Amino acid sequence: MSLKALIFDVDGTLAETEEAHRQAFNDSFACAGLGWHWSREEYGLLLRTTGGKERIRRYCVESGSEFLGDHVISSLHRHKTARYAEIIADGGLSLRPGVRELVAQARQAGMSLAVATTTNRPNVDALCVACWGCLASDMFDVIAAGDEVAAKKPAPDVYQLALKRLGLKPCDALAFEDSRNGLLSAREAGLRTVVTSSAYTRDEAFAEADWLLPDLRPETLPLELRMTLAPAARHPAA
C-alpha cells in the first residue's frame, strides 16, 4: 500500500460524539422554547440525514411541527454548535481506541493528515481542543467541512475537496469512516475506505468497505497499513 495521506471523518470516527450532539440539540430546543426533545432512538433515525440544519428541517416535516424558516434554523444551529463546544469542553470525551496512535504514526511516517466531515469547522476545532489540546489546523494539514460544499455525504463533494486541497489523487489516500453515508461518499470519490462502526451506526451495511474493523488499535489495522506505518518500511536498510 502506497499512501501519502489519511483522511478522517470526525463524528463517530475520531470520537463517539453523537450523544454530545444530541444533548446540544435538545438544550438548544429547550432554550428556544420549542418543546422538542430528540430521544436516542429518534436521533439515530435522524442521523441518516447528514447535516444538523438538514436534520432540523427533516424533523419539522416528519413530526408535523411548525415549519421553521432558514433564518430561524440557522440561529438555532449556531446555538447548538456553541452548546456542543461547552459540553465537550467539560471533559468526558475521548478519542476512539487507536486514533491517537494512528495519527501520531502517520505524522511520523511523513503522511499528510486531513479531515472530510459533514459537520462544521467550529465542531472540528472543539473536538481537537478537547482531545488534543489544540485547534484543528494544528492537528490536520487539510480540513474540508460540510458547510464548504454544495452537497453533503453521501455525495462525494467533501472528500473531493479534501483531495483537491491535499493535491493528491484518490489512490494516494485512505479514508476512515463510521457510517454508511460516509462510506458511500468516500467510495464515490474513489477512495479506499476503512470503516469502524460507532454506537449509532452498528446496524448499518458496509459491504463496500475495503476494511471493516472494530477499532483502529495497531493490532487491528490491515497488515498493509501497518507495514506502511512501520519504521522498517520507511527506512529500509542500505
DSSP of 114-173: EEE-SS-HHHHHHHHHHHHSS-HHHH-SEEE-GGGSSS-TTSSHHHHHHHHHHT--GGGE
Q: Starting at the earlier edge strand, list the strands of the sheet with 192-195.
A: 142-144, 112-116, 5-8, 173-177, 192-195, 211-212
Q: Which of 11, 125, 157, 178 is catalytic?
A: 11
Single out the catalytic residue among 9, 125, 157, 178. Answer: 9
- Alpha carbon separation from 111 to 57, 80, 101, 119 (Å, rounded): 39, 34, 14, 24
What is the distance between the alpha carbons of residues 162 and 169, in angstroms, rounded to a whole number? 10
Angle at the Cα of 87 from the Cα atoms of 82 and 91, rounded to 5 degrees: 135
Q: Are strands 173-177 and 5-8 parallel, antiparallel or unpaired?
A: parallel
Look at the block and give the residue holding cell 467541512. 145
Tell me if residue 147 is catalytic: no
- Is 203 annotated in the active site? no
- Give CA torsion, residues 124, 190, 177, 211, to 10 deg: -150
User: CA-to-CA distance for 192 and 61, rounded, in angstroms?
Assistant: 36
Report the alpha-carbon distance of residue 75 to residue 219 in Å, rounded.
44
Catalytic sites, residue numbers: 9, 11
